[in-house]
């Protein structure tokens, strides 16, 4: 990510963090609307899930200048999500739901520079998580 994109993410995250609960409700509402079949994967309450989401977003934003330090954590997260039944196609749905939720929470249009910066970051996180998931799948296949 460029310095400008990182700054856009950091600055907008201050706004997103102010209403973390609202952001979580927007995100999970959109996620379940886009892919209703994944709702059963969420056994806990959405408020708790929202806290986990904000915790991860905080870690990602705080690590923008040293993203590589998050790679082991994101690999492990991707592997855990495999156990929950997350499939590769679900990552794109999550990306769409997050982008939409960010746009709603920030009150900006989908084509704005800040949302493109978030999309880029979320795509990076998603890609790294999927690598971790694939590594686990391949290790299981080798047996």
- pLDDT of res. 102: 97
Rounded to a whole number, what is the largest CA-CA distance in the chain? 49
**pTM for the structure as a whole:** 0.91
Q: Helix, strand, coil proportions of the chain in percent (round to 5)? A: 85, 0, 15
- pLDDT of res. 9: 98
Distances from the Cα of 12 to the Cα of 16, 85, 110, 118, 142, angstroms: 6, 32, 14, 9, 44
pLDDT exceeds 80 at position 122: yes
Percent of the chain with pLDDT over 90: 81
**68: domain range?**
3-142
pLDDT tens, position by position, 98-120: 999 999 999 998 889 999 999 99
pLDDT exceeds 90 at position 67: yes
Chain mean pLDDT for the chain? 94
CATH no. for residue 95? 1.10.490.10
Domain count, the chain: 1
């Amino acid at each position: 990510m460029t310095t400008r994109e990182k700054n856009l993410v950091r600055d907008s995250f201050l706004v997103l963090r102010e209403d973390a609960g609202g952001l979580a409700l927007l995100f999970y509402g959109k996620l379940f609307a886009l892919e209703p079949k994944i709702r059963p994967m969420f056994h806990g309450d959405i408020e708790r899930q929202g806290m986990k989401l904000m915790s991860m977003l905080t870690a990602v934003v705080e690590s923008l200048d040293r993203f590589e330090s998050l790679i082991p954590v994101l690999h492990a997260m991707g592997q855990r999500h495999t156990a929950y039944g997350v499939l590769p196609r679900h990552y794109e749905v999550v990306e769409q739901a997050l982008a939409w939720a960010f746009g709603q929470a920030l009150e900006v249009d989908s084509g704005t520079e800040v949302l493109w910066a978030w999309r880029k970051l979320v795509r990076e996180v998603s890609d790294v998580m999927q690598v971790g998931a694939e590594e686990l799948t391949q290790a299981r296949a080798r047996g």
